[in-house]
Amino acid sequence: MATLATVDLVKNYGRAPAVRGVCLTVDDGELLCILGPSGCGKSTTLRVIGGFEQADGGDVRLDGVSIAALPPNRRPTAMVFQKYTLWPHMRVFDNVAFGLRLRHLDKATIAGKVGEALELVGLPEVGRRYPHQLSGGEQQRIALARALVLEPRVLLLDEPLSNLDARLRVRMREEIKRIQRRVSITTVFVTHDQEEALSVADRIAVMNEGRLEQVDTPTAVYNRPRTLFVADFIGRMNRLAATYPGDHGALRTDIGLLPAPEGVSWPLGTELVVAIRPEDLRLARPGDGLAFRARVEVVMELGHYRQVSLQAISGPVPGPALIMIVGKDVDVRAGESIAVTPTRYLAYARPAGVTDEDHDRRAEDAPAPLEVALDATPRVAV
Ligand SMILES: Nc1ncnc2c1ncn2[C@@H]1O[C@H](COP(=O)(O)OP(=O)(O)OP(=O)(O)O)[C@@H](O)[C@H]1O
Ligand SMILES: [Mg+2]
Protein backbone atom coordinates (compact mmCIF):
# COMPACT_ATOMS: atom_id res chain seq x y z
CA MET A 1 0.00 0.00 0.00
CA ALA A 2 1.21 3.51 -0.78
CA THR A 3 -1.33 6.30 -0.53
CA LEU A 4 0.27 9.70 -0.91
CA ALA A 5 -1.26 12.85 0.51
CA THR A 6 -0.24 16.48 0.58
CA VAL A 7 -1.96 18.49 3.25
CA ASP A 8 -2.27 22.25 2.72
CA LEU A 9 1.13 22.44 1.07
CA VAL A 10 2.61 25.94 0.89
CA LYS A 11 5.88 27.02 -0.74
CA ASN A 12 7.07 30.60 -1.10
CA TYR A 13 10.10 31.80 -3.00
CA GLY A 14 11.01 35.05 -1.29
CA ARG A 15 7.65 36.70 -0.92
CA ALA A 16 6.11 35.12 -3.98
CA PRO A 17 3.91 32.11 -3.30
CA ALA A 18 4.55 29.28 -5.76
CA VAL A 19 2.26 26.74 -4.09
CA ARG A 20 -0.72 27.94 -2.07
CA GLY A 21 -2.42 25.31 0.04
CA VAL A 22 -2.38 22.23 -2.16
CA CYS A 23 -4.32 19.23 -0.79
CA LEU A 24 -3.96 16.15 -2.95
CA THR A 25 -4.53 12.47 -2.36
CA VAL A 26 -3.05 9.88 -4.71
CA ASP A 27 -4.47 6.41 -4.13
CA ASP A 28 -2.45 3.24 -4.04
CA GLY A 29 -1.38 2.32 -7.59
CA GLU A 30 -3.03 5.41 -9.06
CA LEU A 31 -1.49 7.60 -11.76
CA LEU A 32 -2.35 11.20 -10.98
CA CYS A 33 -1.40 13.94 -13.43
CA ILE A 34 -0.73 17.47 -12.28
CA LEU A 35 -1.63 19.63 -15.25
CA GLY A 36 -1.32 23.39 -15.59
CA PRO A 37 0.35 26.24 -17.45
CA SER A 38 4.02 27.12 -17.14
CA GLY A 39 4.90 28.60 -13.77
CA CYS A 40 1.76 27.42 -11.96
CA GLY A 41 3.73 25.44 -9.37
CA LYS A 42 3.72 21.88 -10.72
CA SER A 43 7.45 21.18 -10.37
CA THR A 44 7.57 22.91 -7.02
CA THR A 45 4.79 20.67 -5.71
CA LEU A 46 6.59 17.59 -6.98
CA ARG A 47 9.95 18.69 -5.55
CA VAL A 48 8.37 19.26 -2.15
CA ILE A 49 6.86 15.76 -2.28
CA GLY A 50 10.25 14.31 -3.19
CA GLY A 51 12.02 16.31 -0.48
CA PHE A 52 14.11 18.42 -2.85
CA GLU A 53 12.44 21.57 -1.52
CA GLN A 54 11.42 22.35 2.01
CA ALA A 55 7.75 23.36 2.33
CA ASP A 56 6.85 26.56 4.18
CA GLY A 57 3.67 24.98 5.42
CA GLY A 58 1.64 21.81 5.29
CA ASP A 59 2.63 18.18 5.26
CA VAL A 60 3.45 15.26 2.97
CA ARG A 61 2.15 11.88 4.16
CA LEU A 62 2.51 8.34 3.01
CA ASP A 63 -0.20 6.02 4.31
CA GLY A 64 -1.01 8.67 6.87
CA VAL A 65 2.55 9.02 8.20
CA SER A 66 4.45 12.28 7.66
CA ILE A 67 7.61 12.00 5.55
CA ALA A 68 8.22 15.77 5.55
CA ALA A 69 11.25 15.57 7.84
CA LEU A 70 13.09 12.98 5.72
CA PRO A 71 15.80 13.96 3.21
CA PRO A 72 15.11 12.89 -0.42
CA ASN A 73 17.29 9.77 -0.27
CA ARG A 74 15.45 8.49 2.79
CA ARG A 75 12.00 9.06 1.32
CA PRO A 76 10.24 6.13 -0.31
CA THR A 77 9.93 8.21 -3.46
CA ALA A 78 11.97 8.38 -6.67
CA MET A 79 11.88 11.25 -9.10
CA VAL A 80 12.55 11.67 -12.80
CA PHE A 81 13.39 15.36 -13.21
CA GLN A 82 12.11 17.75 -15.85
CA LYS A 83 15.60 17.92 -17.33
CA TYR A 84 16.49 14.30 -16.75
CA THR A 85 20.19 13.86 -17.10
CA LEU A 86 21.99 10.61 -17.40
CA TRP A 87 25.63 10.87 -16.42
CA PRO A 88 27.37 11.02 -19.80
CA HIS A 89 30.64 9.47 -18.60
CA MET A 90 28.92 6.43 -17.11
CA ARG A 91 27.65 3.42 -18.98
CA VAL A 92 23.90 2.79 -18.87
CA PHE A 93 24.42 0.00 -16.34
CA ASP A 94 26.27 2.29 -13.97
CA ASN A 95 23.72 5.06 -14.42
CA VAL A 96 20.97 2.70 -13.32
CA ALA A 97 23.09 1.07 -10.60
CA PHE A 98 24.11 4.38 -9.03
CA GLY A 99 21.32 4.63 -6.45
CA LEU A 100 21.70 0.97 -5.48
CA ARG A 101 25.44 1.39 -4.85
CA LEU A 102 24.63 4.25 -2.49
CA ARG A 103 22.59 1.71 -0.59
CA HIS A 104 25.64 -0.59 -0.35
CA LEU A 105 23.95 -3.58 -1.93
CA ASP A 106 26.22 -6.42 -3.02
CA LYS A 107 27.34 -6.75 -6.63
CA ALA A 108 25.17 -9.70 -7.58
CA THR A 109 22.03 -8.10 -6.16
CA ILE A 110 22.77 -4.86 -8.02
CA ALA A 111 23.36 -6.70 -11.30
CA GLY A 112 20.08 -8.58 -10.86
CA LYS A 113 18.04 -5.47 -10.09
CA VAL A 114 19.58 -3.40 -12.90
CA GLY A 115 18.88 -6.25 -15.33
CA GLU A 116 15.25 -6.37 -14.22
CA ALA A 117 14.84 -2.59 -14.51
CA LEU A 118 16.32 -2.55 -18.03
CA GLU A 119 14.06 -5.45 -18.95
CA LEU A 120 11.06 -3.57 -17.60
CA VAL A 121 11.70 -0.54 -19.83
CA GLY A 122 12.33 -2.81 -22.83
CA LEU A 123 16.08 -2.21 -23.17
CA PRO A 124 17.78 -5.29 -21.72
CA GLU A 125 20.72 -5.10 -24.14
CA VAL A 126 22.04 -1.57 -23.69
CA GLY A 127 23.79 -1.81 -20.30
CA ARG A 128 27.28 -1.43 -21.76
CA ARG A 129 26.48 1.61 -23.91
CA TYR A 130 27.02 5.24 -23.01
CA PRO A 131 24.04 7.64 -22.99
CA HIS A 132 25.15 9.36 -26.21
CA GLN A 133 24.85 6.01 -27.96
CA LEU A 134 21.09 5.96 -27.25
CA SER A 135 18.21 7.80 -28.92
CA GLY A 136 16.24 10.40 -26.96
CA GLY A 137 13.44 7.94 -26.26
CA GLU A 138 15.89 5.28 -25.08
CA GLN A 139 17.61 7.75 -22.77
CA GLN A 140 14.18 8.62 -21.41
CA ARG A 141 13.51 4.98 -20.65
CA ILE A 142 16.85 4.66 -18.89
CA ALA A 143 15.98 7.68 -16.74
CA LEU A 144 12.77 5.83 -15.84
CA ALA A 145 14.69 2.60 -15.13
CA ARG A 146 17.04 4.54 -12.85
CA ALA A 147 14.02 5.65 -10.78
CA LEU A 148 12.21 2.28 -10.86
CA VAL A 149 15.28 0.26 -9.83
CA LEU A 150 15.08 1.89 -6.40
CA GLU A 151 11.69 0.21 -5.97
CA PRO A 152 10.13 3.40 -4.66
CA ARG A 153 6.65 3.32 -3.23
CA VAL A 154 5.87 6.54 -5.08
CA LEU A 155 7.14 7.52 -8.52
CA LEU A 156 7.43 11.24 -9.29
CA LEU A 157 7.70 12.21 -12.95
CA ASP A 158 8.29 15.84 -13.90
CA GLU A 159 7.44 16.35 -17.58
CA PRO A 160 9.29 13.14 -18.39
CA LEU A 161 8.53 13.39 -22.10
CA SER A 162 9.23 17.06 -22.73
CA ASN A 163 12.50 16.44 -24.55
CA LEU A 164 11.01 14.09 -27.09
CA ASP A 165 9.45 14.73 -30.49
CA ALA A 166 5.68 14.47 -30.92
CA ARG A 167 5.50 10.85 -32.14
CA LEU A 168 7.91 9.54 -29.59
CA ARG A 169 6.03 11.36 -26.83
CA VAL A 170 2.86 9.49 -27.72
CA ARG A 171 4.69 6.15 -27.82
CA MET A 172 6.54 6.79 -24.58
CA ARG A 173 3.46 7.90 -22.68
CA GLU A 174 1.79 4.62 -23.57
CA GLU A 175 4.94 2.83 -22.47
CA ILE A 176 5.03 4.65 -19.13
CA LYS A 177 1.38 3.85 -18.54
CA ARG A 178 2.04 0.18 -19.31
CA ILE A 179 5.00 -0.01 -16.92
CA GLN A 180 3.15 1.93 -14.24
CA ARG A 181 0.23 -0.52 -14.47
CA ARG A 182 2.53 -3.52 -14.47
CA VAL A 183 4.37 -2.57 -11.30
CA SER A 184 1.22 -0.94 -9.93
CA ILE A 185 3.09 1.99 -8.48
CA THR A 186 1.54 5.14 -7.01
CA THR A 187 2.60 7.84 -9.47
CA VAL A 188 2.46 11.62 -9.78
CA PHE A 189 3.04 12.70 -13.37
CA VAL A 190 3.52 16.41 -14.06
CA THR A 191 2.75 17.80 -17.50
CA HIS A 192 1.53 20.98 -19.16
CA ASP A 193 0.19 18.95 -22.10
CA GLN A 194 -3.53 18.37 -21.73
CA GLU A 195 -3.64 15.58 -24.28
CA GLU A 196 -0.90 13.75 -22.40
CA ALA A 197 -2.81 14.13 -19.13
CA LEU A 198 -6.14 13.07 -20.62
CA SER A 199 -4.57 9.95 -22.12
CA VAL A 200 -2.48 8.61 -19.23
CA ALA A 201 -4.11 9.82 -16.03
CA ASP A 202 -6.47 7.97 -13.74
CA ARG A 203 -7.23 11.41 -12.33
CA ILE A 204 -6.07 14.89 -13.28
CA ALA A 205 -5.29 17.70 -10.84
CA VAL A 206 -5.57 20.99 -12.73
CA MET A 207 -3.36 23.65 -11.19
CA ASN A 208 -3.37 27.40 -11.71
CA GLU A 209 -1.28 30.04 -9.96
CA GLY A 210 -0.25 27.73 -7.15
CA ARG A 211 -3.74 26.39 -6.46
CA LEU A 212 -5.72 23.34 -7.45
CA GLU A 213 -8.71 24.19 -9.60
CA GLN A 214 -10.14 20.69 -9.98
CA VAL A 215 -9.14 17.11 -9.23
CA ASP A 216 -11.18 14.62 -11.21
CA THR A 217 -11.18 11.84 -13.79
CA PRO A 218 -10.19 12.89 -17.32
CA THR A 219 -13.81 12.49 -18.46
CA ALA A 220 -15.17 14.63 -15.63
CA VAL A 221 -12.54 17.32 -16.11
CA TYR A 222 -13.44 17.51 -19.81
CA ASN A 223 -17.22 17.21 -19.51
CA ARG A 224 -17.78 19.14 -16.30
CA PRO A 225 -14.93 21.62 -15.85
CA ARG A 226 -15.41 23.11 -12.43
CA THR A 227 -14.13 26.58 -13.37
CA LEU A 228 -13.80 28.63 -16.53
CA PHE A 229 -10.05 28.33 -16.24
CA VAL A 230 -10.34 24.53 -16.48
CA ALA A 231 -12.94 24.85 -19.24
CA ASP A 232 -10.53 26.88 -21.37
CA PHE A 233 -7.37 25.02 -20.44
CA ILE A 234 -8.68 21.56 -21.35
CA GLY A 235 -9.87 21.24 -24.93
CA ARG A 236 -11.52 24.03 -26.88
CA MET A 237 -14.44 25.94 -25.44
CA ASN A 238 -16.81 28.52 -26.91
CA ARG A 239 -17.73 31.19 -24.39
CA LEU A 240 -20.76 33.44 -24.52
CA ALA A 241 -21.75 36.19 -22.14
CA ALA A 242 -25.27 35.57 -20.86
CA THR A 243 -27.80 37.10 -18.53
CA TYR A 244 -30.72 35.58 -16.70
CA PRO A 245 -33.59 38.01 -17.00
CA GLY A 246 -35.52 35.74 -14.69
CA ASP A 247 -38.93 36.22 -16.19
CA HIS A 248 -39.29 33.52 -18.81
CA GLY A 249 -36.95 30.75 -17.78
CA ALA A 250 -34.37 31.43 -20.48
CA LEU A 251 -30.85 32.83 -20.69
CA ARG A 252 -30.23 35.72 -23.04
CA THR A 253 -27.06 35.26 -25.11
CA ASP A 254 -25.57 36.62 -28.33
CA ILE A 255 -26.83 33.54 -30.17
CA GLY A 256 -30.37 33.96 -28.88
CA LEU A 257 -32.30 32.56 -25.95
CA LEU A 258 -31.26 29.28 -24.34
CA PRO A 259 -33.46 27.35 -21.91
CA ALA A 260 -32.26 28.01 -18.36
CA PRO A 261 -31.15 25.03 -16.27
CA GLU A 262 -34.06 23.49 -14.41
CA GLY A 263 -34.75 24.68 -10.91
CA VAL A 264 -32.25 27.56 -10.85
CA SER A 265 -32.68 30.17 -8.16
CA TRP A 266 -30.54 32.95 -9.56
CA PRO A 267 -31.55 36.52 -8.81
CA LEU A 268 -33.01 38.44 -11.76
CA GLY A 269 -30.29 39.91 -13.95
CA THR A 270 -27.62 37.39 -12.90
CA GLU A 271 -24.68 37.49 -15.29
CA LEU A 272 -23.27 34.20 -16.50
CA VAL A 273 -20.87 32.65 -18.90
CA VAL A 274 -22.31 29.99 -21.17
CA ALA A 275 -19.66 27.51 -22.32
CA ILE A 276 -20.23 25.23 -25.31
CA ARG A 277 -17.79 22.59 -26.50
CA PRO A 278 -17.17 22.70 -30.28
CA GLU A 279 -18.64 19.21 -30.62
CA ASP A 280 -21.81 20.41 -28.87
CA LEU A 281 -22.71 22.58 -31.86
CA ARG A 282 -24.22 20.96 -34.96
CA LEU A 283 -25.98 21.90 -38.17
CA ALA A 284 -29.59 22.75 -37.43
CA ARG A 285 -32.45 20.72 -38.85
CA PRO A 286 -35.84 22.15 -39.78
CA GLY A 287 -37.83 22.79 -36.64
CA ASP A 288 -34.81 23.17 -34.30
CA GLY A 289 -36.03 25.85 -31.93
CA LEU A 290 -32.61 27.07 -30.82
CA ALA A 291 -31.05 27.46 -34.27
CA PHE A 292 -29.07 30.58 -35.09
CA ARG A 293 -27.40 31.69 -38.31
CA ALA A 294 -23.67 31.87 -38.80
CA ARG A 295 -21.22 32.48 -41.61
CA VAL A 296 -18.58 29.82 -42.21
CA GLU A 297 -15.17 31.50 -42.05
CA VAL A 298 -12.71 28.61 -42.25
CA VAL A 299 -13.05 24.84 -42.57
CA MET A 300 -10.07 22.81 -41.36
CA GLU A 301 -9.77 19.16 -42.29
CA LEU A 302 -8.45 17.32 -39.25
CA GLY A 303 -8.49 13.72 -40.39
CA HIS A 304 -11.68 12.06 -39.25
CA TYR A 305 -13.43 15.34 -38.39
CA ARG A 306 -13.70 18.95 -39.52
CA GLN A 307 -13.15 22.04 -37.45
CA VAL A 308 -15.35 24.90 -38.60
CA SER A 309 -14.74 28.54 -37.60
CA LEU A 310 -18.02 30.43 -37.51
CA GLN A 311 -19.10 34.00 -37.16
CA ALA A 312 -22.56 34.10 -35.66
CA ILE A 313 -24.95 36.53 -37.33
CA SER A 314 -27.24 38.16 -34.82
CA GLY A 315 -28.87 41.20 -36.31
CA PRO A 316 -26.89 44.15 -37.66
CA VAL A 317 -23.75 43.64 -35.50
CA PRO A 318 -21.49 40.61 -35.95
CA GLY A 319 -22.17 37.95 -33.34
CA PRO A 320 -19.57 35.94 -31.48
CA ALA A 321 -16.88 33.88 -33.21
CA LEU A 322 -17.41 30.17 -32.55
CA ILE A 323 -15.73 26.87 -33.30
CA MET A 324 -17.78 23.85 -34.32
CA ILE A 325 -16.60 20.28 -34.80
CA VAL A 326 -18.45 18.11 -37.30
CA GLY A 327 -17.90 14.70 -38.84
CA LYS A 328 -16.09 14.56 -42.18
CA ASP A 329 -19.34 13.52 -43.84
CA VAL A 330 -20.90 16.92 -43.02
CA ASP A 331 -20.51 19.23 -45.98
CA VAL A 332 -19.80 22.84 -45.02
CA ARG A 333 -17.86 25.38 -47.07
CA ALA A 334 -16.15 28.63 -46.29
CA GLY A 335 -18.28 31.66 -47.16
CA GLU A 336 -21.70 30.03 -46.86
CA SER A 337 -24.32 30.92 -44.32
CA ILE A 338 -25.61 28.01 -42.25
CA ALA A 339 -28.03 27.36 -39.39
CA VAL A 340 -26.41 25.97 -36.27
CA THR A 341 -27.87 24.69 -33.02
CA PRO A 342 -26.29 23.97 -29.65
CA THR A 343 -26.89 20.53 -28.15
CA ARG A 344 -25.42 21.05 -24.70
CA TYR A 345 -24.01 23.86 -22.63
CA LEU A 346 -22.56 24.64 -19.22
CA ALA A 347 -23.58 27.75 -17.31
CA TYR A 348 -21.14 29.43 -14.94
CA ALA A 349 -22.86 31.94 -12.71
CA ARG A 350 -20.76 34.77 -11.38
CA PRO A 351 -21.18 35.27 -7.64
CA ALA A 352 -22.13 38.81 -6.61
CA GLY A 353 -19.22 41.26 -6.33
CA VAL A 354 -16.79 39.15 -8.38
CA THR A 355 -15.08 40.82 -11.35
CA ASP A 356 -14.61 39.27 -14.76
CA GLU A 357 -11.01 38.41 -14.02
CA ASP A 358 -11.80 36.88 -10.65
CA HIS A 359 -14.54 34.90 -12.27
CA ASP A 360 -12.01 33.29 -14.59
CA ARG A 361 -9.46 32.66 -11.91
CA ARG A 362 -11.01 31.94 -8.57
CA ALA A 363 -11.62 28.27 -7.96
CA GLU A 364 -12.59 28.46 -4.33
CA ASP A 365 -16.20 29.25 -3.59
CA ALA A 366 -17.04 29.11 -7.30
CA PRO A 367 -20.44 27.50 -7.66
CA ALA A 368 -20.35 24.33 -9.76
CA PRO A 369 -21.46 24.90 -13.34
CA LEU A 370 -24.91 23.72 -14.38
CA GLU A 371 -25.08 21.40 -17.36
CA VAL A 372 -27.97 21.58 -19.79
CA ALA A 373 -28.52 18.96 -22.48
CA LEU A 374 -30.64 20.42 -25.26
CA ASP A 375 -31.26 17.39 -27.40
CA ALA A 376 -30.41 13.73 -27.56
CA THR A 377 -28.50 13.73 -30.84
CA PRO A 378 -25.32 11.67 -30.44
CA ARG A 379 -22.21 13.82 -30.33
CA VAL A 380 -19.39 13.57 -32.83
CA ALA A 381 -16.56 11.62 -31.27
CA VAL A 382 -13.24 13.49 -31.45
N1 LIG B 1 14.29 28.15 -7.11
C2 LIG B 1 13.38 29.11 -7.33
N3 LIG B 1 13.58 30.39 -6.89
C4 LIG B 1 12.65 31.36 -7.08
N5 LIG B 1 11.50 31.15 -7.72
C6 LIG B 1 11.23 29.93 -8.19
C7 LIG B 1 12.17 28.84 -8.03
N8 LIG B 1 11.64 27.74 -8.60
C9 LIG B 1 10.44 28.11 -9.10
N10 LIG B 1 10.20 29.42 -8.86
C11 LIG B 1 8.98 30.17 -9.23
O12 LIG B 1 7.86 29.48 -8.69
C13 LIG B 1 6.79 29.43 -9.61
C14 LIG B 1 6.40 27.98 -9.89
O15 LIG B 1 7.48 27.34 -10.55
P16 LIG B 1 7.44 25.83 -11.00
O17 LIG B 1 8.79 25.45 -11.47
O18 LIG B 1 6.85 25.01 -9.92
O19 LIG B 1 6.42 25.92 -12.22
P20 LIG B 1 5.91 24.76 -13.22
O21 LIG B 1 4.43 24.70 -13.08
O22 LIG B 1 6.68 23.52 -13.02
O23 LIG B 1 6.25 25.41 -14.64
P24 LIG B 1 6.84 24.71 -16.00
O25 LIG B 1 5.64 24.11 -16.71
O26 LIG B 1 7.36 25.89 -16.76
O27 LIG B 1 7.87 23.72 -15.63
C28 LIG B 1 7.26 30.19 -10.84
O29 LIG B 1 6.77 31.51 -10.76
C30 LIG B 1 8.76 30.17 -10.73
O31 LIG B 1 9.33 31.32 -11.31
MG1 LIG C 1 8.09 22.49 -14.17
Count of the separate structural domains present in the chain: 2
* Spatial distance between the Cα atoms of 337 and 346, rounded to a whole number of angstroms: 26
Average pLDDT over every residue of 110-128: 94
* Each residue's pLDDT tens digit, 204-252: 999 999 999 999 999 999 999 999 999 999 999 999 999 998 766 789 9
271 and 219 share a domain?
no
Query: CA 277 to CA 235: how far, in whole Å?
Result: 8
* Distance between CA atoms of residues 361 and 137, nearest Å: 37
CA distances from 330 to 126, 287, 304 (A): 51, 19, 11
Residue 314 is classified by DSSP as: E
Identify whether residues 160 and 300 lie together within a single domain: no
CATH code, 112: 3.40.50.300
SS3 at position 138:
helix
- Examine residue 61 and state whether it is found in any structural domain, yes or no: yes
DSSP state of 246: S
Sign for the pseudo-dihedral over CA of 152, 155, 156, 157? positive
Give the span between the Cα atoms of 287 and 35, in whole angstroms. 42
Q: What is the pLDDT of residues 158-172, one digit of tens each?
A: 998 887 788 888 988
Q: Are residues 180 and 251 in the same domain?
A: no
CB atoms within 10 A of CB 48: 24
Question: Ligand 1 within 6 A of 191 CB?
Answer: no
pLDDT tens across 56-86, in order? 999 999 999 999 999 998 999 999 987 767 9
pLDDT at 379: 43
Q: Tell me, yes or no, whether 145 and 252 share the same domain.
A: no
In a domain, 202, yes or no: yes
Select from 169, 203, 227 the last residue of a domain.
227
Nearest to 82 by CA among 47, 30, 54: 47
> How far is 267 from 338, CA to CA, in rounded Å?
35
pLDDT at 350: 75
Is any atom of ligand 1 closer than 6 Å to the C-beta of 38? Answer: yes
Same domain for 221 and 253, yes or no, is no
Contact partners, residue 163, CB within 8 Å, separation at least 6: 83, 84, 136, 140
pTM to 2 decimals? 0.89
Q: For residue 382, tell me if it sits in a domain.
A: no
How far is ligand 1, taken at its centre, from the CA of residue 168, in Å? 26
Within-domain flag for 248: yes
Residue 172 lies in a domain: yes
Q: Kindly state whether residues 189 and 278 are assigned to the same domain.
A: no
The pLDDT, as a whole number, for residue 377 is 47
Atom 14, ligand 1: which residue's CA is nearest? 41
Closest C-alpha to ligand 1, atom 7: 13
| Residue among 44, 156, 212 to mutate when testing ligand 1 (max atoms within 8 A of CB) | 44
Q: Could you tell me the pLDDT band of residue 382, with boundaries at 50, 70 and 90? A: very low
Pocket flag, ligand 1, residue 18 (CB < 6 Å): yes
Does 43 contact ligand 1 (Cβ within 6 A)?
yes
Which domain-ending residue is among 227, 259, 294?
227
Q: Residue 3: which residues within 8 A CB-CB, separation 6 or more?
A: 25, 26, 27, 28, 62, 63, 64, 186
Are the CB atoms for 257 and 371 separated by under 8 Å?
no
Q: What percent of the chain has pLDDT over 90?
A: 69
**Owning domain of residue 233:** 229-373
328, amino acid identity: K
381 lies in some domain: no
Instruction: Specify whether the CB–CB gap between 23 and 212 falls below 8 A.
Output: yes
Q: Relative to the CA of 11, which ligand 1 atom is closest?
A: 12
d(CA 140, CA 146): 10
214 with 292, same domain?
A: no
82 Cα–ligand 2 center, Å: 6
Which residue's CA is the nearest one to ligand 1's atom 9?
A: 44
* CA 19 – ligand 2 centroid, Å: 12
Rounded alpha-carbon distances, angstroms, from residue 162 to 166, 193, 319: 9, 9, 39
Same domain, residue pair 9 and 144: yes
Cα distance from N-terminal residue to C-terminal residue, the chain: 37
